[in-house]
Each structure stands twice: as structure tokens, then as C-alpha cells.
Amino acid sequence: MLRLTSFDACDVSSNILNVQHVSPKDQTYSGTVFSKCNEFNGTKSPAPLVRRKQVNNFIGDLTLLRNASGGQSKPSQRTQSVSVSMQKATPINPHGRHSASPITLISSLWRNRTLALQLTRREVVGRYRGSVLGLAWSFFNPVLMLLVYTFFFAVIFKSRWGTGGTDSKTDFAVILFVGMIVHGLFAEILNRSPRLILDNANYVKKVVFPIEILPAVSIGVALFHAIVSLGVLLIAFFIFNGFIHWTAVFIPLVLMPLIILSLGAAWFLASLGVYLRDVAQTIGLFTTVLMFLSPVFYPATSLPEAIRPWLMLNPLTFIIEQAREVMIWGRLPDLQGLSIYTLCAVIIAWLGFIWFQKTKKGFADVL
């Protein structure tokens, strides 16, 4: 097991950050450790119990970064000899050009997948840390929401979806819940995107860190909650109807285009939120309005024929309808429509990545 004191880690990291010809993995890992060391050593000495928690958090951060960098327990030969080569050091240029090609996009996500997964896991666990139920809240939240929907729409309002079949009292709540899951996935990603860079400013200012993976981390967190909600939906559907449609296995195929589209939107909003702080409040209002402009509370067929084409311009309309097809009605998804949607989503994701790469050189100056 790797053992590093805060002073050893800072010394080694300081040397690595100021030497040429160091592998990107060592540079990224050591740069992050160096930032953590500065934050840790720069804090005032509080009470012993608080200081002990700070030490534990510091060691946890080092372990996370070491594992994400490949789990190397020994410094490389170049790392051991960096102190001799200090005079060859060149500063890192934060204003250098960043490639925005599709190959760079894919390779960056793939190369940093371990780091993204571990950051996602830490954020999911950290969201419920300190609560009595802990991670179980991610399960009880959608259960409580589904019970509320069922009670109000099935018992009080006696709503029916109007499919022409034998609608039971619980059908409306289940069909509504599908739309809420899709909208919730998209809304959570968009609402958090404008503050991704602002809330992780230390990665931009002090560290050679792949900040382009931060939107992917937010998508991972939102996707975790969506998966839990889908599990609750399947359990409720089985309790209400006694079976589950086999076509539910296509739900990942239905959600994938929306995830790609959300990634592009997250890159764009994360960059824009650095320069325009009002974007966060605007996006919150936008996602609320989007919920009522999407077929969440009503079927798309209930609208007049002249309005339906405009409704299809909503990025959630097609995905919500397809999710209900495979989850509720037991029909196969529209593969042709999903293919066209995926192509458009890939283009938008690439454009969002281009915008992010072109604008991130000014993040450090603004922050």
C-alpha cells in the first residue's frame, strides 16, 4: 500500500509539475495531489477531532487519485530523478490550444473513465452522507413520489390517460411516472451544469486536471437516480398488473440518445456558466417550463394535429413517448427515429465539446 506524508507528496508533486517530458498520467495525478496538499497544509489547526477528520479526508483523496491514475504504488524512474532536472523546467501554459476533434472527445472520456466513475461514486455517496437512511434515500424518494402521484391522480382526481382500453386507477400514475423519470434525468443534468466549473474551481486554478469529464460525472449521478427510479417503476408495474413487458429491456437504447444530447448541453452550459452567472437561474426556470411543454401529464395525441409537429421539436417528446412504448405498452421502439435522434445528438455533443475546449482557456482568469 502506498504511504505518503503530506510533505513528501507535496515535494514530489511540485517537482513533477515543473519538469518536462513527464507522462500525462503522472502529471495529472501529481498535480492533483499537489493541490490537495496545498489545501491541507494551508488550513488552520482546529480542534484535534476536526483535524483527524481532515487527515482522513486528505488520505482518502490521495487514495482516490492514486487509484484513478492507474494504481501505481511506486514513482516512475523519471519521477525519482525530477529533483536533478529542475533547471530544465518549463511552466504549463494554461492558454494553449486544446484539440476538439471527435477522436480527442472519445479518447478523453475513455482515458479518464476510471476517474469519472470514482468521482461519480463519491458524489452519490456524499449526497446522502450524514443522513439516517443514507443511500437508501435514493430508493425511498421515487417510491414516495409514486405513492403521491397514485393517490392524487387515481383516487382524488380519478384521472384516466384516455388510451381507449381498460384504464385502471393506477395506470395514469405509472404512465405519468415514466415521463417524470425522463424529464428528471434531463433536468438534473441541465440544472447542475452551469455550476460544474464554479464548484470545482480548484481543479481549474491549480491542477492539471481533465475538467472535460465533470459533465460526464454529473450525468453519471443523474443516471444513477434514474436507474433507481426505473427499478421502482418496474416493481410498481408488476404489483399493479402482475407482469412486466419484455420490451422493457430496450429502455437503455431509448435513453442513450438523450444522454448523448445531455452531455453536449452540459459542456455548453458548464462553460457558459463561468462567464454568465445568471445562467444557473435561467436554466432552472427553463427546465420547469419544459416539463409542462413535454407530454408528461398528457399524451401527445391529445393535442390538435396542427400543434403536434411543434411538440416534436421538444427533445423530450420523442424519448418520453418511446419510453412509454417499451415500458408501458409493450411495443418495440422506433429504431429509425432513434437513429435519427442519435445522429443529431452526436452532432450537438460534438459542438458542445468544441465550445468547451475553445472557451476553457479563460476559466482560470475568470475564476
| The pLDDT of residue 81 is above 80 | no
Q: Please, are residues 229 and 142 in contact by the beta-carbon 8 Å criterion?
A: yes
**Interatomic CA distance for residues 32 and 192, integer angstroms:** 23
Q: Which residue has the higher pLDDT, 292 or 61?
A: 292
**Interatomic CA distance for residues 45 and 51, integer angstroms:** 7
**Interatomic CA distance for residues 53 and 33, integer angstroms:** 18
Question: pLDDT, tens digit, for every residue of 145-155?
Answer: 888 888 887 77
Percent of all residues in the chain with a pLDDT value above 90, rounded to a whole number: 43
Q: Look at residue 107 in the predicted model and tell me its pLDDT.
A: 87
Question: pLDDT, tens digit, for every residue of 322-339?
Answer: 999 999 999 999 999 999
pLDDT band at 266 (very low <50, low <70, confident <90, very high): very high
Chain centroid offset of residue 319 CA: 19
Q: What is the pTM of this model?
A: 0.73
- Domain ranges, ordered by start, for the chain: 6-88, 102-366
| The pLDDT of residue 185 is above 60 | yes
> What does the pLDDT average to over 280-296?
92
pLDDT band at 20 (very low <50, low <70, confident <90, very high): very low
Q: Please, are residues 172 and 227 in contact by the beta-carbon 8 Å criterion?
A: no
Q: Look at residue 190 in the predicted model and tell me its pLDDT.
A: 95
**Interatomic CA distance for residues 218 and 123, integer angstroms:** 9
**Interatomic CA distance for residues 51 and 48, integer angstroms:** 5
For the chain, the helix, strand and coil percentages under 3-state DSSP, each to the nearest 5:
75, 0, 25
Angle at 125 between CA 122 and CA 129, to 5 degrees: 125
**Interatomic CA distance for residues 233 and 249, integer angstroms:** 14
> What does the pLDDT average to over 72-95?
40
Question: pLDDT, tens digit, for every residue of 97-133?
Answer: 667 777 888 888 899 999 999 999 999 988 888 777 7
Handedness of CA 282, 284, 287, 291 (dihedral sign): negative
Q: Which residue has the higher pLDDT, 209 or 194?
A: 194
**Interatomic CA distance for residues 162 and 97, integer angstroms:** 56
Average pLDDT, the chain: 77
Question: pLDDT, tens digit, for every residue of 196-252?
Answer: 999 888 888 766 788 999 999 999 999 999 999 999 999 999 998 889 999 999 999
Write out the DSSP string of 7-39. HHHHHHHHHHHT-SS--HHHHHHHHHHHHHHHH
Q: Look at residue 155 in the predicted model and tell me its pLDDT.
A: 78
Choose the most confident range, by mean pLDDT, from 43-57, 60-74, 165-179: 165-179
**Interatomic CA distance for residues 1 and 23, integer angstroms:** 22
Cell of 272: 457558459
Cell of 9: 507528496
